Amino acid sequence: MFIKIALNGARPKEQNKYLPHSLAEIEKEVDLLYNYGCKVFHIHCYDKNGNESLKPNDVNNLVLLVKNISPEIQIGISSGDWIEPDLEKRKGYIKSWKNIPDFISVNMIEDDSIEISKLLISKGVKIEAGLNEKKAAEIFVKSNLEKDCCRILIEPEPEELYSAIQVIIEIEKVLDASDVKISRLLHGFNSVSWDILREAKRRGYDSRMGMEDTIYLENGEMVKSNLELIQCANKILTAI
């Protein structure tokens, strides 16, 4: 089991002033985590004004920054449609990237997820298929994207454990019925993130942790870095 680092997400600074948005902040966090032993990162790209971005200059700079820390780091970013709602602009940005991330998370529930996935694949990027509900899983199994997908993200949105588990079960049934063999990564958000981490270990899945998923330690203390979350996660997993 490995833990992918979800460094920042779409969270605003108002939630936690230590959220890494700028290149300098991201560099500091990634360097700390890499030296701790982390090598797989999911990072939302931001521009100089603190807004999420898919623009070529911003993505190029982020990928270069991370690869300069170490070329063995695998970096993925989000392709979320809220970052650039205009599909043609989003496609144009992707086509113009020079520094290519290792993988991209694509939310299968989004309207243009298959078209965006195919464009990313044409750039040599592996896809992480984000499945937040049963319908998203159904879209994925019909998509013929499996051979270009490096992992499936099972990411239930309910922030109550029982409801989250029910979503997980529904997604698993769809994947199992189609005999999908791709490795699975399970994670949760906010109040259920720690319980879902344990659930991932019990189910034999990979998981992820970071300030995208929660900004609090299990004891309720607000974190000051992603490293605190990863250290806490490793203690939990070791105890299981």
| pLDDT, position 240 | 84
Q: Spell out the residues 6+ positions from residue 142 whose beta carbon is closer than 8 angstroms to its own.
A: none
The three-state secondary structure class of 239 is: helix
Taking the C-alpha atoms of residue 193 and residue 216, their distance in angstroms, rounded to an integer, is 10
Tens-binned pLDDT, residue by residue, of the chain (240 aa) = 999 999 999 999 999 999 999 999 999 999 999 999 999 999 999 999 999 999 999 999 999 999 999 999 999 999 999 999 999 999 999 999 999 999 999 999 999 999 999 999 999 999 999 999 999 999 999 999 999 999 999 999 999 999 999 999 999 999 999 999 999 999 999 999 999 999 999 999 999 999 999 999 999 999 999 999 999 999 999 988
Phi/psi for 104 (5° steps) reads -135, 135
Q: How many domains are there within the chain?
A: 1
Taking the C-alpha atoms of residue 93 and residue 198, their distance in angstroms, rounded to an integer, is 38
| pLDDT, position 202 | 96
| pLDDT, position 33 | 98
Domain extent, residue 58, equals 3-239
Q: What is the CATH number of the domain that holds 33?
A: 3.20.20.70
Q: 3-state secondary structure string, 73-91?
A: CEEEEECCCCCCCCHHHHH
Encoded tokens for 90: 């989003």
Provide the residue type at 41 as one letter. Answer: F
| pLDDT, position 79 | 95
Torsion over CA: 93, 87, 110, 138 (sign): negative
